[in-house]
Structure 1
Amino acid sequence: MFRALTLALMLCPLPLLAQQAVPVPDLAEPQVAEPPMTLERLAGIITALDADAVAQGPTLQFNIDGIPVMIVADAGADRMRAMVPIASAEGLSAQDLLRMMQANFDTALDARYAVANGRLWGVFIHPLSPLERDQLISALVQTVNVARSYGQTYSGGAQVFGGGDSNGIYRELFEELKKKGEAL
């Protein structure tokens, strides 16, 4: 069989092969990459999203849709963390913790549930310099959504199966935040 396939490929006219080829993109056009994310660029994006954002050292505090968000960034370690407080961690049951771990695997997406300093958080953790603007905005929306959906769907909101309204709500918030930071 292999021999017959090889022979058929050798005998096949080249113009026929060329007609069936997948077009190759023109690699001569340079791809415009975003500049690396820096503390200054991060602050500029956040300020575009919330003009009342407060910067204090490596920490930015602001609101998205009425939800308090805090970002802590460290340029030296090339890391950033976006956090949304959800509730006290006191009294979380084994069932609550299990459900959050399940959500961290499938529905929380890039955001995660975490416990630190006696508090339950929605978090997004990422290297700072390769972070792109749209990734940041999507991550912020997902982090806000895991806080909103705690105790219900435990969802980051970006991937929703079925014909419900959640995906449209996520898309509207993403587009709204993206427009605010358009010039960045």
Structure 2
Amino acid sequence: MLRTLALTLCLFPVTLTAQESEPAMTAPRMAEIVLALDAEAQITANGIEFTVDDVPVLIVMDVRADRMRAMVPIRAATEMTPEEMLRVMQANFDTALDARYAIAGDRLWGVFIHPLSPLEKDQLISGIAQTVNIANTYGTLFTGGAAQFGAGDSGALQRKLLEDLLEKGQDI
């Protein structure tokens, strides 16, 4: 079934017209999307502060550099053991997905970094969800949550956050 689908997609490429593609991501468009996720979000001069699943999220944008990053503070980096440092580096390779663990200002952060203008709504929402998930799973699964291998409840719980956020952003 998957081979047939893949072959079909290769043989019959879908072309998007300008009307079918999403508009370029801008600061006002991003604010509109984030406000759908958290109506109490605070718009700042160069970003947005909001909460997802009781986790504080900060989005910083540099429109001139065409970059954005969503960030979640996790803990003091100075208190991390070498084993914890190794584990976050391993997670960056295989389970953090589009989000990453990063250190700045002596803090460990969960971050999603992307060029601003080509960023699509669902990519933004997924990146935010993955960033919140790597913060929530620090010390246990160290995962962005969009993909899980094996059985158990963790994957379903983490996917639920993404699905909830995508549902909130559907009408944008």
Alignment TM-score, normalising by the size of structure 2: 0.89
**Runs of 4+ displaced beyond 2 Å:** 21-31
Structure 1 CA distance, aligned partners of 2:28 and 2:125?
16
Q: Deviations over 1:124-164 (max 9, x none)?
A: 10000111111111111110011011111111111101121
Alpha-carbon distance change, 53 to 152 in structure 1, aligned in 2, over 3 angstroms: same
**49, 52, 63: which one aligns with 1:61:** 49
C-alpha distance in 1 between matches for 2:14 and 2:71: 40
Distance 1:26 1:45 in 2: 29
The 1:27/1:138 distance shift into structure 2, 3 A limit, reads: closer
Greater mean deviation of Cα atoms: 59-68 or 90-99: 90-99
1:81 aligns with 2:104: no
> Rg: which structure is higher?
1
Sequence identity (%) = 53
Distance 2:15 2:146 in 1: 34
**Structure 1 unaligned regions, length at least 5:** 1-20
The Cα RMSD (Å) is 1.9
User: How many pairs were matched up?
Assistant: 164
Is it true that 1:157 corresponds to 2:145 in the alignment? yes
Unaligned runs of 5+ in 2: 1-6
Kept after mapping to 1: 8 A contact 2:146/2:162: no
Pairing partner for 1:173 from 156, 161, 169: 161
In structure 1, the partner of 2:101 is: 113
Q: What CA deviation, in whole Å up to 9, does each residue of 1:3-33 have, x standing for no partner?
A: xxxxxxxxxxxxxxxxxx9695386874711
Q: Aligned letter for 1:163?
A: A
Distance 1:66 1:108 in 2: 20
- What secondary structure does 2:79 align onto? coil
